Amino acid sequence: MTTRSKSGISKRKAYSTYVQSIDLSQIEASSFMTAYTVLEWQSAMREEIEALHAQGTWDLVPLPAHKNLITYKDDGKPYSHPAQYRSIVGALQYLTFTRPDIAFSVNQACQFKHNPMESHVVAVKRILRYLKGTIDFGIHFQPGLLNLQVYSDADLARDPNDR
């Protein structure tokens, strides 16, 4: 890439200077992943979701009517597309590396990958709605001393399928 200086002499312009001059916020994203990497697109997506919520078009995730969505392995009729269920749950399982808040729910859904029922699909859709509603949530770590406190209530006998 060449450019002309004021004295009329052509000289090379550094490629890095050219790349830095491109405004990425003006480029339209071709996929969700490219849009998610640009901060301007993240805020635009957030504003659109907030506008839809404010207009009452849809609610992000209503509070659960009951605590346990996935209950038993033989709960309801079998799901007609078990391969699709396994694919979605597998993707959610991979996502738990970066979103540990869904680890318990995804683990519950994974227990029924071999024979999913309609009620299990409803629970997986709920996880997806939760992810859509919390797309910009996260923990922000800053330099300095990190004091992290974690509390857990482990109920290992809660599994109704092994009673």
Residues 102 and 73 placed together within one structural domain of the fold: yes
Domain count, the chain: 2
Burial class (CB in 10 A: 0-12, 13-18, 19+), 119: middle
Helices (H), the chain: 15-21, 32-37, 39-54, 82-95, 103-110, 118-133
- Over the stretch 113-129, which tens digit does the pLDDT of each residue have? 988 988 888 888 888 98
121: in domain? yes
Tokens representing 14 are: 């550094």
Measured in residues, the chain has a length of 163
Residue 63 to residue 84: CA distance in whole angstroms: 26
pLDDT of 145 > 70? The answer is yes
Q: Would 63 be classed as within a structural domain?
A: yes
Q: What is the dihedral of CA 36, 39, 41, 45, to 10 degrees?
A: 80
Residue 28 lies in a domain: yes
Q: Which domain holds residue 19?
A: 10-58
- Whether residues 127 and 112 fall in one domain: yes
Residue among 44, 114, 37 at smallest CA distance from 78: 114
pLDDT > 60? residue 38: yes
Tell me, yes or no, whether 81 and 122 share the same domain: yes
Which of 42, 58, 74 marks a domain boundary?
Answer: 58
The answer to whether position 157 is within a domain reads no
Mean pLDDT of 83-110: 89
Per the model's pLDDT, the better-predicted residue between 25 and 35 turns out to be 35
Q: Determine, yes or no, domain membership for 146.
A: no
Burial label for 89, CB within 10 Å (0-12, 13-18, 19+), is buried
Residues 93 and 54 in one domain: no
In a domain, 160, yes or no: no
The reply to whether 87 and 132 lie within a common domain is yes
pTM of the entire structure? 0.48
